[in-house]
Chain A
Amino acid sequence: AQSVTQPDIHITVSEGASLELRCNYSYGATPYLFWYVQSPGQGLQLLLKYFSGDTLVQGIKGFEAEFKRSQSSFNLRKPSVHWSDAAEYFCAASPNRDDKIIFGKGTRLHILP
């Protein structure tokens, strides 16, 4: 069955430290991949997406993600986090651009001052 797995429910990092959030997918073929961020009580904001091409994808707010076919992974990274990055992050996948998107359970990011 198609699925998206985010193995870390909570992650805590210090402000200014680097960040990597893990995401693995299980699909028959390489899906379209997304990372969304959700602040408390808010909707979803798209950080970045991968459809094809360069496997290192740049997004908004200084985030990037790397698609690794051999590992079925699409990990999100940021070199230096800011307190405003505290939020919930969702990895998501879709078999094509306009099919339903399946979400992981999310990783809640906490930032230490």
Chain B
Amino acid sequence: NAGVMQNPRHLVRRRGQEARLRCSPMKGHSHVYWYRQLPEEGLKFMVYLQKENIIDESGMPKERFSAEFPKEGPSILRIQQVVRGDSAAYFCASSPPRGSDTEAFFGQGTRLTVV
């Protein structure tokens, strides 16, 4: 059973371009969480999704950021018109349906560099 897969591992974008980060949850997991880690800081919650639903987006910036978790395929975190301040590591975690006796598992992250 593969773990949470994130790709790409490293992404370089010029200011103004779009960044698309992908997260494939573990098999059987229906919940996905996205976190952002700025240099020398902890992880900040961004958004929590189930298949085709956004459950909690209280940590998402109001503009340029969006996330989806379609019925088929990976979850996507999309950043439009990137700026230097978007440079960070973005981590995805997945967990099984509610009531399961296990915690969320994290991917290796995508390191976004905006130049």
Contact = CB atoms under 8 A, between A and B. Distances in A.
Given A42-B108, A97-B95, A100-B33, A34 B42 contact: no
B45 A101 contact: yes
Interface in B19-47: 31, 33, 35, 41-45
A101 B93 contact: yes
Interface residues of A, number: 21
Given A44-B91, A105-B41, A49 B48 contact: no
A31 interface: no
Contacts of B56: 100
Interface string B76-115: 0000000000000001010111101111111111010000
Given A97-B102, A100-B48, A43 B107 contact: yes
Contact of A44 (B45, B59, B106): B106
Contact of B104 (A101, A102, A106): A101
Given A90-B42, A103-B43, A97 B107 contact: no
Nearest to A100: B45
Interface in A65-113: 90, 92, 97-106
Contacts of A32: 103
Interface of B: 31, 33, 35, 41-45, 48, 56, 59, 91, 93, 95-98, 100-109, 111
Interface of A: 32, 34, 36, 41-44, 46, 49, 90, 92, 97-106
28 contacts: A32-B103, A34-B103, A36-B106, A41-B111, A42-B108, A42-B109, A43-B106, A43-B108, A44-B43, A44-B91, A46-B106, A49-B103, A90-B43, A98-B31, A98-B97, A98-B104, A100-B48, A100-B59, A101-B45, A101-B93, A102-B45, A103-B35, A103-B42, A104-B42, A105-B41, A105-B42, A106-B41, A106-B42
